[in-house]
């Protein structure tokens, strides 16, 4: 089924209000397996609205008109659609009774003749009752095309769609099912290159990559009669993706860290720490506590995190972490040595199972001859202490700090998976 959304309202064209209804409807239709191919906004003008409806009826099976169901003369959606379909408007008794009840309980308002417009329905249409407002919606099929009229206010449209429209449309054979794969350690361009054969030849399921700061997600989508059938198709595609390797031969399966829209690398690490009954601490310089505050954002953080250190200057690193000042002066703040010592000493001083050390140059200026974006991250456990060196070029100060924090979480994730 090919759907088209027509939003009616001059106030949208002039930017006075934001069209959130189109996004909501597109998301709900996608769940039903209904493809939205076109979205149009038209002002409160009968001639232009007629032309838009005529064009939509030539290319779409389902046409949804939002807005223009009120009592005033510029609320002309139902009237214009009725004119296009050459059908009369009739009073829907349930909607009319709701109007009567409303004015009976609100004596400060007087019902006038134009309020009847809110209870009108195109002849032969199925009413879509409005539980949060007064204007009735409707659904009518003419010459193989289904037309739907909905109110404009989201507080009225959303309940009408969920309670009234979706049950009428849910008889559609297939629904859309999606799965989000989250990767860290590979950029979008390389991931798309690695998966080019799958992407170029995709039909159903489909692959949609999305780049975020420091990570990439893939949304796998398929249409299926039920969740079980969708799972089979999505599982097959995921297996094909994870069988690939990066350009330097790192299996994508090692870079996949989780699933879902609302997941994050930090959340995955937090759950792994709880599952393995491990505690963590950190000593941070360039990230200024971002790693620790991210952990502390999760409910129950005290079960894995008791505290840590933020040590910006060399002197504070020496004093708080008990690292000899002459050693820091010899190796420099921005170094493998300092990152490892920060990780090790924070772990020993707090008694945590894992210690992280973050040092480097967030920018925009250089430090100790190192350019902005230079990062050293240390990780310490009772059996191992090591560090990685990164250079994140072309990023803002906040992005460098954010990406450094992600790399730190990924180090912890890898360490926990090796337990």
Q: Output the DSSP codes for 314-373.
A: HHHHHHHHT--HHHHHHH-SSSHHHHHHHHHHHHHHHT-SEEEEEEE--SSS-BTTBPTT
Quick one: which of 109, 111, 110 has its CA closest to 96? 111
pLDDT of residue 141: 93
Q: How far apart are CA 359 and CA 317, in angstroms?
A: 11
The residues, any chain, with a CB within 8 Å of residue 180's CB and separated by 6 or more, are 217, 218, 219, 220, 259, 260, 261, 263
**Residue 169: which residues within 8 A CB-CB, separation 6 or more?**
29, 32, 34, 62
For residue 34, the number of C-alpha atoms closer than 13 Å in the C-beta half-sphere is: 25
Its sign, for the CA torsion 222, 225, 228, 232, is negative
Question: For position 113, what pLDDT does the model report?
Answer: 87
Nearest to 338 by CA among 352, 350, 324: 324
Task: Please give the radius of gyration of the chain, using alpha carbons only, rounded to the nearest integer.
Answer: 29
198, 186 Cβ separation under 8 angstroms: no
Alpha carbon distance 289, 282 (integer Å): 8
Preceding omega of 205 cis (within 30 degrees of 0) = yes
> Is the separation of the CB atoms in 373 and 383 below 8 Å?
no
Per-position b or e across 105-134, b if 16+ CB within 10 A of its CB: eeeeeeeeeebebbbbbbeebebbbbeebb
pLDDT attached to residue 33: 85
User: Roughly what angle, to the nearest 10 degrees, separates helices 336-350 and 314-321?
Assistant: 30
Q: Tell me which residues of the chain have a pLDDT lower than 70.
A: 171-173
CB atoms within 10 A of CB 325: 12
In whole angstroms, what is the distance from residue 264 CA to residue 57 CA?
43
d(C-alpha 408, C-alpha 419), whole Å? 17
Q: Residue 245 carries which DSSP code?
A: B
Kindly tell me the burial class for residue 278, based on how many C-beta atoms sit within 10 Å of its own C-beta (0-12, 13-18, 19 or more).
Answer: middle
What tokens appear for 261 in the block?
């829209």
């Amino acid at each position: 089924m090919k759907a088209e959304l027509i939003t009616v309202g001059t106030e949208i064209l002039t930017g006075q209000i934001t069209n959130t209804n189109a996004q909501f409807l597109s998301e709900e239709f996608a769940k039903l397996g209904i493809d939205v191919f076109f979205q149009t906004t038209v002002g409160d003008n009968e001639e232009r609205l007629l032309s838009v409806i005529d064009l939509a009826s030539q290319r779409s099976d389902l046409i949804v008109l939002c807005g223009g169901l009120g009592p005033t003369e510029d609320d002309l959606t139902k009237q214009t659609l009725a004119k296009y379909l050459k059908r009369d408007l009739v009073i829907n008794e349930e909607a009319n009774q709701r109007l009567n009840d409303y004015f009976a309980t609100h004596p400060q308002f007087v019902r006038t003749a134009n309020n009847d417009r809110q209870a009108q329905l195109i002849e032969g249409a199925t009413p879509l009752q409005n539980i949060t407002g007064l204007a009735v919606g409707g659904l009518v099929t003419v010459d193989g095309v289904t037309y739907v009229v909905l109110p404009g206010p989201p507080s009225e449209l959303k309940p009408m769609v969920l309670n009234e429209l979706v049950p009428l449309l849910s008889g559609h054979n297939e629904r859309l099912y999606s799965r989000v794969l989250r990767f860290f350690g590979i950029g979008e361009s390389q991931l798309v290159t690695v998966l080019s054969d799958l992407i170029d030849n995709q039909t159903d399921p489909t692959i949609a990559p999305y780049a975020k700061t420091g990570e990439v997600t893939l949304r796998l989508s398929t249409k299926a009669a039920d969740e079980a059938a969708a799972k089979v198709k999505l599982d097959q595609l995921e297996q094909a993706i994870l069988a690939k390797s990066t350009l330097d031969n790192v299996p994508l399966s090692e870079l996949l860290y989780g699933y879902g829209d609302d997941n994050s690398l930090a959340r995955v690490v937090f759950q792994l720490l709880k599952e393995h009954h491990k505690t963590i601490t950190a000593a941070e310089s360039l990230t200024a506590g971002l790693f620790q505050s991210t952990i502390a954002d999760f409910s129950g953080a005290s079960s894995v995190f008791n505290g840590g250190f933020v040590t910006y200057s060399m002197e504070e690193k020496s004093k708080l972490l008990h690292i000899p000042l002459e050693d820091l002066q010899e190796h420099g703040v921005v170094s493998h040595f300092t990152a490892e010592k920060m990780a090790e000493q924070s772990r020993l001083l707090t008694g945590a199972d894992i210690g992280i050390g973050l040092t480097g140059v967030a920018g925009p200026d250089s430090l100790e001859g190192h350019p902005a974006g230079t990062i050293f991250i240390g990780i310490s456990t009772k059996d191992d202490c090591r560090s990685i060196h990164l250079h994140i070029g072309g990023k803002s100060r906040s992005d460098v700090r954010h990406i450094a924090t992600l790399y730190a979480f990924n180090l912890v994730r890898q360490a926990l998976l090796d337990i």
